[in-house]
Chains A and B, each alone.
Chain A
Amino acid sequence: MKILVTGATGYIGWKLCKRLAAEGYEVVALYRNRQIESSIPNISWAKGDLQDTSGLKVAMEGCQQVYHVAAVARMHTANNNEMYATNLQGTINVLEAAAYNSVERVVYTSSAGVMGKSFEMPLSEGDPRLEPFDNDYDLSKHLAEEQVKNYVRNGYDAVIVNPSRVFGPGIATYSNAVTRAISNYLKYPLFLVPGKGEAIANYVFIDDVVEGHLLAMRHGKAGENYILGGNNLSYNGLFDLLQSITGLHKTKIAAPMAAMKTVARIAAMLQFILGQHPTFTPYLCERLCHNSKLSVAKAMSEIGYQPTKIETALSITLRSLGFKMDSTMVPRPVSGKTLIHSL
């Protein structure tokens, strides 16, 4: 079977390509600028742009399945409309090409960001947003989801997956921020947590995200969303876990919101002067201090999704970052307070 993957040079996309190839599928990996050097025989590269529908149609020829992973995965872009051009119009174009080629099913990689913040109760797929849309990323992904649902209403087949904060071995892209934080934990004596470190978010292992994509393709219901998440953890909880797994003692520093925002303002100003993308903004600071707890109950019951234990996932990640794990070392049990399971 021939499968097209968009965003194949990205963090999730490349992992997905390798996994599909390992399963014996013939993978058409779509790339924009530079393909990844690899000697995997059943991955073939196709140059293409999401803005070019006719090119997409050609690349998709003979494909039975499409994983639409490509997106601008950041909070801000220099040109405000770029986010909508890629994430929204790009998705419309992919769907059009898929319909044209009678693709059996499209799995669209959205983001748990579209679900917004949570209070104390974890958010599920059917929940309304509890805050307004206030950034282009979330909104562009939400509008793209609407297009996917529309596509299904028109009689085609597509499923939406919503990964939470992804971490694990892989390409170090901008959006791979959690892995970067883990790597910084190993590198530096200090570990910075936003606010008081109490904000709880959902962290998911990259292999689970890839697996979730395959499960959604196989067992998902057309037009449905599936949250691909892992554990709900506070920053303090994540820090405690890293301490107990590695046995390394680092100093945790809580970065007060006001201080973070000041730094962010200065950073944003400097980046503006240097003509770079703003990567750390006051808005992002606030976002980092919101809860975003998620429930993966639906994905577990409907498509058989089974997230990896967080200790295992972190150990694998740490090892991939060059940390020598003592094989005899058993992670110290972490108190129930710090480990808040998603179920």
Chain B
Amino acid sequence: MNHTYAVITGAADGLGRSFATVCAKAGYHLVLVDLPNKKLNRIAQHLECAFQVKTLVLEINLCALGAAQKIVNLIRNNDLPISLLVNNAGIGMRKLFEDTHEHFITEMIQLNIAAVTQLAWQLIPLMKKHTPAGIINISSIASYYQLPYKSVYAATKALVRSLSLSLRLELKHTGIHVCVVCPGGINSNATQYLISKNTGWLLRQTVMHPDRVAQIALQKAMQGKSLVIPGMLNRIIHFLGKLLPPFLRERIALSTMKMTCTINSKASAIPLAA
């Protein structure tokens, strides 16, 4: 039984909720962070009851200034031993850069980049006291590609990957292991489920259950892996993608993105949130 805490952002649904479950199963107590009004308290209660762990819930918007500081204050005030940070919260996009609202872009950069970076910076000193410790940052397979319709998203995820790999070297002898996860498609919420249902056969095969992704990520991070691409098919496609001549890769990226990002409710009876 582990007596330390794992901090998980975006824990109310999708991959974050799966990380919360997998970490609780592994015996971590939990600090769960997500936006207000997502019933995070109830999720925490279910996890406490099922896995006999302690939980603390913090409902804040990580895009807000000083959000990382609030998490650290909570940890300090309760004197919690932290040994794992799962930087999971993030938002995606499926729109042309020009058509995307400026405010949305700012928020995405704030959440996907600033919050991730600041949280790592703030928590590293605390985690040094409870080694062996770990940071799991969630990047994306998108971080490797030039992706129209996901331009800002892919760029933010590239930063997360780059930051993580550098940090890993810096922290190598401190007892804090940094691992970056680059998942492909995940059935993380209703919209993702409906999108993946309407894509091509091959893409549908790559979509993974968030529980599975979280399970693989935690296991590989524990084994000391620095970069994890969950799913054999994702790894194969990624490998083959690297072999393709750039012009072909770009064409495939463009047509795939066009197909998945322009699915709308007109095409079917399915109502898709933008």
Q: Which residue of B lies closest to A89 (CB)?
A: B269
Do most interface residues of chain B lie in helix, strand or loop, or is the interface mixed? helix
The tally of residues in B whose CB lies under 8 Å from a CB in A reads 30
Which residues on B sit within 8 Å (CB–CB) of A127? 39, 42, 46
Interface code A115-130, partner B: CB below 8 Å = 1, 0 otherwise? 0001111000011111
Count of CB-CB pairs between chains A and B under 8 Å:
65
A81-B269, A126-B42 given. 14 additional CB < 8 A pairs? A80-B197, A88-B271, A119-B46, A120-B49, A128-B12, A129-B13, A131-B211, A132-B189, A132-B210, A133-B189, A133-B190, A133-B193, A136-B197, A139-B193
Q: Contact at A85–B269, with CB atoms within 8 Å?
A: yes
Is the CB of A84 closer than 8 A to any CB of chain B? yes
Contact of B13 among A81, A118, A126, A132 (CB under 8 A): A132
Q: Contact at B47–A119, with CB atoms within 8 Å?
A: yes
Which residues on B sit within 8 Å (CB–CB) of A139? 190, 193-194
User: A81-B269, A84-B269, A127-B39 are contacts. A132–B49 as well, Cβ < 8 Å?
Assistant: no
Do most interface residues of chain A lie in helix, strand or loop, or is the interface mixed? loop
Interface code B43-61, partner A: CB below 8 Å = 1, 0 otherwise? 1011101110000000000
Is the CB of A134 closer than 8 A to any CB of chain B? yes
Q: Which residue of A lies closest to B52 (CB)?
A: A120
* Chain A residues in the interface with B (C-beta under 8 A): 80-81, 84-85, 88-89, 118-121, 126-134, 136, 139, 142-143
User: A127-B46, A130-B46, A133-B189 are contacts. A84–B270 as well, Cβ < 8 Å?
Assistant: yes
Q: Contact at B187–A132, with CB atoms within 8 Å?
A: yes
User: A128-B12, A132-B193, A142-B190 are contacts. A121–B45 as well, Cβ < 8 Å?
Assistant: yes
Contact of A119 among B39, B50, B188 (CB under 8 A): B50
Q: Contact at B193–A120, with CB atoms within 8 Å?
A: no
With both chains docked as a complex, state the minimum distance between the C-beta of A284 and any C-beta of chain B, in angstroms. Answer: 15
Which residues on A sit within 8 Å (CB–CB) of B43? 128, 130
A-B contact pairs, 21 of them (CB 8 A): A81-B268, A84-B268, A88-B269, A118-B46, A120-B50, A121-B46, A121-B49, A126-B39, A127-B46, A128-B13, A128-B39, A130-B21, A130-B46, A132-B13, A133-B187, A133-B189, A133-B190, A133-B193, A134-B209, A136-B197, A143-B190
